[in-house]
A = this chain, B = another copy of it.
């Protein structure tokens, strides 16, 4: 992996082997799109990080230092994917969090992944993952470091033509994709699954919610399959219309097109594509 890495604000690619982030996944992360050195959705990433820190009772390092390091890491990259991780640092043996945790924070940057132009224009092919997300309200919504479900789901396919895998819960509801949130238009209304039992409250999802009236609730697979329009949202990849779920075809629709236009205007999606 070709990346610049900073640990606790200092260039260098290694962390203590007994960091609780590695021992237990005891921490949080954000993957932030930087465009020409600035992050258009920075405040949303920060809000989610702070929410996660509160939920995990995790002290955060100084936020200006994180920002400055992220800017430094992204410097010179036209479009950078900057990952920020905050862990509970090194503690005593065992699960009990230290009374006074000294968080460790890691910032790395690499060129943002290139998205094929026709993914934006004609839509993406996705599949339904076999893995079902576990319901855990204590961890739902936040972007914590316990991501084995995503890893196992993403390992279900290797065909590069399949852009994403959809994930549901154990009760027959669709929740999102392995690394993106999902929206569906039904009867003229925009819907997105609630992420209070499982799933991640994506930053691009939050941006859509701020721009479009959306029903947040439960969405069954049957309801999804009858939707007029489906699209995925991702900080790094923007608005991705869904053209096929396994063998079922869909057509990119006006809501996705409108959001794509807004995303491009805000610098959140490449304008040379689509």
Contacts and interface: CB of A to CB of B under 8 A. Distances in A.
A146 B25 contact: yes
A147 B23 CA distance: 8
A19 B22 contact: yes
State the oligomeric state as a number of copies: 2
Interface in A88-119: 88, 90-97, 99, 106, 108, 110, 113
A85 interface: yes
Interface stretch (A135-143, A224-232, A266-274): A135-143
A21 B18 contact: no
A90 B17 contact: no
Interface residues of A, number: 62
B134 A135 contact: yes
Q: Select the residue from A90, A94, A150 with max chain B CB neighbours within 10 A.
A: A94
A219 interface: no
Interface in A12-31: 13-26, 29
A135 B135 contact: yes
A119 B95 CA distance: 20
A120 to B, nearest CB: 19
24 contacts: A3-B93, A15-B17, A15-B22, A17-B108, A22-B85, A22-B87, A22-B145, A23-B145, A25-B25, A25-B148, A26-B148, A93-B110, A94-B113, A94-B179, A95-B147, A95-B179, A96-B158, A97-B154, A134-B134, A134-B136, A134-B139, A138-B149, A139-B148, A139-B152
